């Protein structure tokens, strides 16, 4: 192994005693999935990883967004009118058209502490270029579903994944990022085509460690379930298989403390300001 390769191996999610991840940046404090939101999360020294979501534009750009459409909950067009949701399919819009929408000034009904500033959905490349701290990792969710592929909101899985991997590797060594998805077709393709990339299996619903690993077909680097579904037995079972456990999305300090007692390896939170003090 070369010195460079060894360094990349050392710098990985395994390096963090507790991997505190800022969900969509710091969604509770700043507009989600924006460059400013990522910078806000990094104001908190406990944060080790920035979590974000990506979709694809009409002109094949990787765009940072939770939905493959323009959310009517948080976005307005350049004239100030509310976005139209699924009617404004990002896969049918160019990156330049997407950037015309403001997704930061509408008061968020579920996050009253969130700062209100004009903000747009950035390109992944621009976001990665703006985060110079080489001690920060990225956990990037590929927002793919069978339904969205069928209905024309995304490219096929192979094309989607290839675009994301090329974009991320252009900016980051493999030791500084993981790729995650609820769509396990994405994870299986990544495993077979990009075996050097560390993978996170997302799950919503009942947890059966044996069934998860059997259905997925391999052991991912990280298993990431909804935190309320998680027990100590689940954590122990995944640890026996060499899989780290990082639940989502934990926004209460007391619950964070209780999850640490279960032995989790990290947590995803909208509120990095609520991370327990050591």
Q: CATH number for the domain including 10?
A: 3.20.20.190
Give the torsion sign (CA, 249, 255, 261, 262): negative
Distance CA 203, CA 206 (A): 8
Is 106 contained in some domain?
A: no
How do the residues of the chain divide into helix, strand and coil, expressed in percent and rounded to 5? 35, 20, 45
pLDDT (average), residues 220-224: 98
Tens digit of pLDDT for each residue in 140-177?
999 999 999 999 999 999 999 999 999 999 999 999 99
Tens digit of pLDDT for each residue in 46-94?
999 999 999 999 999 999 999 999 999 999 999 999 999 999 999 999 9
Contact 160, 142 (CB under 8 A): yes
What are 234's two structure tokens? 């689940």
Q: Return phi, psi of residue 179, to 5°.
A: -115, 135
Is 140 contained in some domain?
A: yes
Q: Which domain holds residue 171?
A: 3-68+121-274
Is 105 contained in some domain?
A: no
Is 77 contained in some domain?
A: no
Contacts of 20 (CB under 8 A, 6+ apart): 46, 47, 48, 49, 266, 267, 269, 272, 275
Is 34 contained in some domain?
A: yes
- Residue 123, helix vs strand vs coil: strand
State the total domains in the chain. 1
pLDDT given for residue 10 in this prediction = 38
Which pLDDT band holds residue 132 (cuts at 50, 70, 90)?
confident
Distance CA 75, CA 106 (A): 7
Is 148 contained in some domain?
A: yes
DSSP string, 53-95: EEEE-TTS-EEE-SSSEE-TTT-B-TTSPBP-EEEEEGGGS-H
Is 46 contained in some domain?
A: yes
pTM, whole model, 2 decimals?
0.94
Average pLDDT along the chain: 94
Distance CA 42, CA 33 (A): 13
Closest CA to 128 of 66, 173, 71, 68: 173
Which pLDDT band holds residue 15 (cuts at 50, 70, 90)?
low
Strand partners, 179: 140, 199
Is 96 contained in some domain?
A: no
Contacts of 249 (CB under 8 A, 6+ apart): 23, 227, 268, 269, 270
Which secondary structure element, helix H or strand E, spans residue 199, and what is its range? Answer: strand 198-203
Q: Is the pLDDT of residue 228 over 70?
A: yes
Tens digit of pLDDT for each residue in 230-261?
999 999 999 999 999 999 999 999 999 999 99
- Residue 276, helix vs strand vs coil: coil
Count CB neighbours of 117 within 10 A. Answer: 13
Which secondary structure element, helix H or strand E, spans residue 165, and what is its range? Answer: helix 157-171
């Amino acid at each position: 192994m070369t010195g460079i390769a060894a360094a990349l191996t050392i710098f990985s999610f395994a390096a963090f005693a507790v991997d505190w991840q800022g969900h969509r940046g710091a969604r509770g404090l700043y507009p989600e999935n924006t460059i400013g939101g990522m910078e806000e999360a990094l104001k908190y020294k406990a944060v080790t990883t920035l979590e974000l979501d990506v979709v694809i534009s009409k002109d094949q750009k990787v765009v940072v967004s939770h939905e493959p459409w323009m959310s009517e909950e948080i976005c307005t067009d350049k004239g100030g009118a509310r976005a139209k949701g699924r009617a404004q399919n990002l896969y049918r819009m160019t990156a330049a058209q997407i950037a015309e929408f403001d997704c930061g000034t509408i008061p968020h009904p579920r996050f009253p502490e969130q700062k209100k500033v004009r903000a747009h959905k950035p390109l992944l490349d621009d976001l990665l270029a703006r985060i110079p701290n080489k001690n920060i990792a990225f956990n990037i969710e590929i927002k793919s579903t069978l339904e969205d592929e069928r209905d024309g909101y995304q490219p096929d899985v192979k094309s989607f994944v290839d675009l994301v991997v090329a974009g991320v590797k252009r900016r980051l060594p493999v030791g500084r990022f993981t790729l995650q998805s609820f769509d396990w077709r994405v994870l299986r393709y990544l495993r077979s085509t990009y075996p050097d990339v560390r993978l996170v299996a997302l799950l919503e619903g009942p947890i059966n460690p044996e069934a998860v690993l059997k259905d997925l077909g391999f052991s991912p680097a990280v298993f990431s379930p909804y935190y309320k579904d998680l027990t100590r037995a689940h954590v122990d079972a995944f640890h026996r298989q060499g899989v780290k456990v990082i639940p989502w999305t934990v926004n209460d300090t007391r619950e964070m403390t209780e999850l640490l007692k279960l032995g989790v390896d990290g947590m995803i939170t909208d509120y990095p300001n609520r991370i327990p003090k050591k």
